[in-house]
Chain A
């Protein structure tokens, strides 16, 4: 079992829709959870961090954490073509482990 699992996609959504990105992790002791965005040919950049169960909202982005189900998600409301990128889920226990990333395509 991979430590951090994501569907590699691509996930295609129309402009203005909600994009839902999902991630599961294997280590129940994990304490910190992150979403990074990586544009093609660029470096990852942090967009959200979440540490406790529930939702955390920042603008059009909402991160959701359910530690009992070992599940983290990222919702992007009112998706824009500029949101088209690969979204990396990262989980920290003793070190930060990244998922393979989900490629999101927002269709104008």
Chain B
């Protein structure tokens, strides 16, 4: 079974809409992350949670709101989507330093 899973894999939506991406890991890791990889392939951390608590919150617009109902799940809700939000969003989990990535969600805002 996939260790870190994300849904949906693809998401196409219009500007102004609100959407959510879900992430689940079955590795038993305490720490989970959201990363954004833009069109230039630069992978940038957005948020990090450790055992349901927010520990890293990079300079991300407050339209982005993560939520961790338990340590195996980390969801990302995005309000009022903008064209610049188009990217691939990766969830990852970690037992310490090493990161294990989900398959990614390609978000396209039109």
Interface residues of A, Cβ cutoff 8 Å to B: 32, 34, 36, 38, 42-46, 49, 86, 88, 90, 92, 94-98, 100-101
Name B's A-contacting residues (CB within 8 A).
40-45, 48, 56, 90, 97-104
A-B pairs, top 7 by smallest CB distance, nearest first, are A43-B101, A98-B43, A32-B97, A44-B101, A43-B104, A46-B98, A95-B56
Interface of chain A: mostly helix, strand, loop or mixed? strand
Known contacts: A95-B48, A95-B56. The answer to whether A46 contacts B99 by CB under 8 A is yes
Residues of B within 8 A of A100 (CB): 40-42
Residues of A within 8 A of B103 (CB): 42-43
A95–B45 contact, CB under 8 A?
A: yes
Name 26 A/B residue pairs within 8 A (Cβ), A-sorted: A34-B98, A38-B41, A43-B90, A43-B101, A43-B102, A43-B103, A43-B104, A44-B43, A44-B90, A44-B99, A44-B101, A45-B101, A46-B99, A46-B100, A49-B97, A49-B98, A94-B56, A95-B56, A96-B45, A96-B97, A97-B45, A98-B42, A100-B40, A100-B41, A100-B42, A101-B41
**Is B41 a contact of A86 with CB atoms below 8 Å?**
yes
Given known contacts A43-B90, A43-B102, A43-B104, is B97 in contact with A98 (CB within 8 Å)?
A: no
Closest to A88 in B: B43
Q: Which residue of B lies closest to A100 (CB)?
A: B42
Q: Select the residue from A36, A43, A88, A101 with max chain B CB neighbours within 10 A.
A: A43
**In the complex the two chains form, what is the Cα distance from A36 to B99 in whole Å?**
9
B contact residues around A36 at 8 Å (CB):
99
Decide: B44 and A98 in contact? CB cutoff 8 A.
Answer: yes
Distance (whole angstroms) from the CB of A100 to the closest CB of chain B: 6
Q: In the assembled complex, which residues on chain A have CB atoms less than 8 Å from the CB atom of B99?
A: 34, 36, 44, 46, 90, 96
